[in-house]
Amino acid sequence: MQNIGSFSRRLSGAIRVLAFILSIIFPLQFDSTLTASSFNESAVVRLRWTAPGDDGNLGRASKYDIRYSLDSLTEVNWNSAIQVENEPVPGVSGTTETFAVTGLEVNTEYYFALKSADAANNWSQISNVVSVTVSNIYLCGDVTGEGTTNITDVLTVINYVYVGTEIPGFLESADVNCDNKISISDVIYISNFIFLDGPAPCDSDFDGVPDC
């Protein structure tokens, strides 16, 4: 029994050494697709990607390095790009990750990319690079950012008021009665517009000029 135990310990140690050697020979690859979207009035861009693993698609990565720039990102200019603060802790491989980058300028195009590292601090290659132009233009009543006002916008405002879910578009787009707050009154207003031919969002006096 002692010989078996000794053999098991040696085998376990050999496996750990082999795993370490492989992590050096085969550096972590980042093959998850990164996407980005501008989503509210505060010049915020939300990034979304699928978490990579620590070893290929297994386990979880150790950490992320998320960066952005006014120029397209490459391995050459990576170190000069701006690194975001408070990057999320990687989830288990295959899970969807999101991160909001704040403090950006409106009407400006930004390029985003990220890298991940494994437990041995081996960094992946740069992910795909995505670009997005932050905009502060919105359509009142188009809460979901689909370009029109419909029942989906009503449901989105209801969820925001009673459940606390996010407004995916500009927050001001949900203040359809221009009272500087989002409440059940906005739900009723949009519903009247859609189903009862009521006034258009942000135009309670029917003059075709936005009230707010």
- The burial class, CB within 10 Å (0-12 / 13-18 / 19+), for 8 is exposed
Residue 60 identity (one-letter amino acid): R
Residue 8 pLDDT? 53
Residue 75 pLDDT? 94
Query: What is the distance in angstroms between the CA of the first residue and the CA of the last residue of the chain?
Result: 81
Beta strands in the chain (DSSP E): 35-40, 44-50, 63-69, 82-83, 96-101, 108-117, 130-134
- Domain boundaries for CATH 2.60.40.10 within the chain: 35-134
Please write the tens of the pLDDT for every residue from 141-173.
988 877 789 999 999 999 999 988 888 777 788
Classified as helix, coil or strand, 183 is coil
* Model confidence, pTM: 0.55
Residue 9 pLDDT? 52
Classified as helix, coil or strand, 51 is coil
- Domain boundaries for CATH 1.10.1330.10 within the chain: 138-212
Residue whose pair of structure tokens reads 């500009």 in the numeric block? 170
Strand 44-50 relative to strand 96-101: parallel, antiparallel, unpaired? antiparallel
Residue 166 pLDDT? 82
Superfamily of domain 35-134: Immunoglobulins (2.60.40.10)
Please write the tens of the pLDDT for every residue from 59-104.
788 999 999 999 999 999 999 999 999 999 999 888 888 888 888 8
Domain 138-212: which CATH class? mainly alpha
pLDDT at residue 21 greater than cutoff 50 = no
Q: How far apart are CA 130 and CA 147, in angstroms?
A: 23
